[in-house]
Amino acid sequence: MSKKVRVRFAPSPTGGLHLGGVRTVLYNYLFAKKHGGDFIVRIEDTDQSRYVSGAEEYIFDCLRWCGLEPDESVQHGGAFGPYRQSERKPLYRKYAEQLIAAGHAYYAFDTTAELEEMREKFKSTENPSPQYDHHLRMKMRNSLTLSADETNSLLASNTPNVIRIKMPVGKTVSFQDMIRGEVSFDTSLVDDKVLLKADGMPTYHLAVVVDDYLMKITHAFRGEEWLPSAPVHLLLWQYLFGWEEMPQWAHFPLILGPHGKLSKRDGAKYGFPVFAMNWQDPKTGETTAGFREKGFLPAAFINLLALLGWNDGSEKEIFSKEELIASFDMARVHSGGAKFDYEKAKWFNHEWIKLTSASKLVPLVSHTFEMANLPITNVVLLEQVIAIVKDRCTVVTDFIEQGSFFFNRPTQIDTASILPKWNTEKSTFFDQLIHYYQQANPWTTGELEKICKDLALTHQLKTGELLLPLRIMLVGGKFGPGVFDIACLLGKEETLERLTQAKRLILQGA
């Protein structure tokens, strides 16, 4: 029996959670649930200079909205805590020192200024960004170039220092990526990454390996941007815990914007959301739009993300979360980056709105109306309205344009579209229509249609020419579902009231 599957999503709480992040969560979640495993969220907050208040809370709110609840996390508890790296700080040093003892790492005392100086000094056209690597480490101030006494006295006097990994020269490290197959690197070309910072906090490189080990992570999934630092992690695993303990890796393709890696900048520029939910930067006060507020359904959001880089091999595109869990397969995740297409994203949402029953949509739509300062008291009517307009709503906010006239009389009547073809015949027709509608019984779509069409016949008028004015009188403009459906839902009193008022308005204009 193999080990229980344990995967983790490890965000740093520095701002909004974007598409790529959510998709990483999703693939982790799907993989875990598919294999009966656990999904862990670990907060990687080792860089206190980038701390953003509220970001951590926000991330969990996003996951909750998406329906991707962790099994273990800061908020959910678990046996492998703490789940915030800043709270695990005392854990890391011993591993770094263990590496030094084994000759795989060393102390470095170079100041920021000295590092900058080095980069300036060795910068050239052929090498625009010099690395702290085996070529240069012997020219720097570290425990490799200093005598043991010098090193010890520097340490004893609390001279600021970091611990760097000593990358071996001329070795090839490789691993099997679940998506890409074998990937290999020449260790000579990788720099001596900092493992433990001067403030005693680990960098990502050390922390990810130590915590994945301590938290018994079996599969480590992350974005492709991490691939270049994989050799560091591989070596760390080998030195600290052994290859056998190492999780299986998969690096997801990037989600691209029109130019490169999708950024919130792209969203602002091209008018589509990039974050899961609205995010307001506490420092600048700037708000970045989220899918939730744009009117996306969580089910649609997850669905469209899942299909951005994965498919089940069939032509099926609409998947519920349960279906995704059942059919997800890491090996079928694409290796190439995917450009985000907002039009297709909207299509997914439209499909999900059509698929979701009116009753299930009531709370969401009701809340949307509330947000727009159009509170709804008649939920029975709301459900009926949703039922007849949802096919023409792409995002939830569309319900406002498509449905608000049921609850509030239109303030504007597009008489301009009626007047050019208005005449006395039509005028008397509508007078009589109002009269017959007064006596209509039952007040049903079918009955209303029959009355109208019969009357048109006796007046020798074409129904087509009457339906548009009728619609405009009821809704204010040229939109909405079937006119008789509208009249039916509006009810007799309201319908007659609108007709009478609109009629008066038309006569004034005529």
Q: Show contacts with RNA in window 190-209 (CB under 7 A).
A: 191, 194, 197-199, 201, 203-204
Contact stretch for RNA (CB under 7 A) within 88-96, 121-129, 290-298, 365-373: 121-129
Distance between CA atoms of 238 and 111, rounded to whole angstroms? Answer: 30
Distance between CA atoms of 499 and 470, rounded to whole angstroms? Answer: 8
Q: Considering only residues 363-382, where is the footprint of RNA by CB under 7 A?
A: none
Give the H/E segment covering residue 6: strand 6-9
Distance between CA atoms of 34 and 252, rounded to whole angstroms? Answer: 18
- Give phi and psi for 232, each to the nearest 5: -60, -45
Dihedral angle sign, alpha carbons of residues 250, 255, 260, 261: negative
Q: Considering only residues 310-369, where is the footprint of RNA by CB under 7 A?
A: 311, 313, 315, 317, 332, 334-339, 341, 343-344, 347, 354
Pick the catalytic residue from 33, 166, 193, 264. 264
Q: Is 10 in the site for RNA (CB under 7 A)?
A: yes
Distance between CA atoms of 238 and 244, rounded to whole angstroms? Answer: 9
Which residue, among 367, 349, 322, has the nearest Cα to 34 in the 3D structure?
Answer: 322
Q: Considering only residues 257-296, where is the footprint of RNA by CB under 7 A?
A: 259-261
Q: Is 171 in the site for RNA (CB under 7 A)?
A: no
Contact stretch for RNA (CB under 7 A) within 1-9, 222-230, 283-291, 440-448: 222-230
Q: Is 446 in the site for RNA (CB under 7 A)?
A: no
Q: Considering only residues 30-49, where is the footprint of RNA by CB under 7 A?
A: 44, 46-47
Residue from 65, 407, 422, 479 that binds RNA (CB under 7 A)? 479
Which residue, among 173, 171, 192, has the nearest Cα to 106 in the 3D structure?
Answer: 192
Task: Please say if 4 is a catalytic residue.
Answer: no
Distance between CA atoms of 395 and 352, rounded to whole angstroms? Answer: 10
Residue from 36, 420, 442, 464 that binds RNA (CB under 7 A)? 464
List the structure tokens of 410: 């239109």
Q: Per-residue contact track with RNA, 70 to 109, x per CB under 7 A?
A: ----------------------------------------
DSSP 423: -
Residue from 70, 146, 481, 498 that binds RNA (CB under 7 A)? 481
Residues 6+ apart with CB under 8 A from 379: 362, 366
Cβ neighbours of 379 (radius 10 Å): 13
Contact stretch for RNA (CB under 7 A) within 10-18, 56-64, 73-81, 93-101: 10-18
Q: Considering only residues 237-256, where is the footprint of RNA by CB under 7 A?
A: 253-254, 256
Q: Which residues are catalytic?
A: 264
